[in-house]
Amino acid sequence: MKILMISSEGWPLARSGALADVLVALPRELKARGHEIALAMPYYREIRQNKKITTKPLRVSLEISLGDRKLAADLLEGRTAEDLQIFFIRCDDLYDRPGIYTEKGEPYDDNAARFIFFSKAAVEIARRMTPSPEILHCHDWTAALVPVLVRDQGLPFASVLSIHHLADQGSFDTWDFALTNLPGRYFDLRGVEYFGRLNLLKGGILFADRIVVSSEPYAHQIQTPSLGEGLDVVLREHAHRLSGILGGADYRRWNPATDKLLPARYGPDNLERKTASRDALLAQLQLAPAPRGPVFGMVTRLISAKGFDILMPVLDRLLADDVRLVILGKGDPAYETGLAIAAREFPERLAYRHDYDETLAHLIEGGSDITLIPSRVEPGAFSAMHSLKYGVLPIARAARGVEQIIADYDPSGTWEGPVRPDSESAPPADRGPRHAAAKREAGLSKALPTLGGSGYGFLFYEYGSEPFWDAIKRAREVFENQAEWERLRKRAASLDFSWALAAESYERLYQELVAQSTAAA
Q: Residue 131: CA atoms inside 13 Å, Cβ hemisphere, count?
A: 9
Residue 89 near residue 123 (C-beta atoms within 8 A): no
pLDDT exceeds cutoff 50 at 136 = yes
* Cα–Cα distance, 116 to 185 (Å, whole number): 18
> pLDDT at position 104, please?
81
pLDDT of residue 440: 31
Is pLDDT of 196 > 80? yes
Question: Residue 405 burial (CB < 10 Å; 0-12/13-18/19+)?
Answer: buried
Contacts of 425 (CB under 8 A, 6+ apart): 419
- Quote the mean pLDDT of the chain: 89
pLDDT band at 142 (very low <50, low <70, confident <90, very high): very high
**Torsion of the alpha carbons at 255, 257, 258 and 260, rounded to the nearest 10:** 90
User: What is the average per-residue pLDDT within 240-257?
Assistant: 92
Question: ω before 131 within 30° of 0 (cis)?
Answer: yes
| 515 to 146, 229, 502: CA distances (angstroms) | 21, 33, 20
Residue 15 has pLDDT above 90, yes or no: no
Q: Are 219 and 505 in contact (CB under 8 A)?
A: no
Q: Can you give the pLDDT at residue 81?
A: 79
Judge if the upstream peptide bond of residue 12 is cis by omega within 30 degrees of 0: yes
Q: What is the pLDDT of residue 298?
A: 96
Residues 304-345: tens digit of each pLDDT: 989 999 999 999 999 999 999 999 998 899 999 999 999 999
What pLDDT score was predicted for residue 400? 63
The whole-number pLDDT of residue 435 equals 34
DSSP character at residue 410: E
Q: What is the mean pLDDT of residues 208-233?
A: 93
Tens digit of each residue's pLDDT (9 = 90 or more) over 266-295: 999 999 999 999 999 999 999 999 888 999
Confidence of residue 241 (pLDDT cuts 50, 70, 90): very high
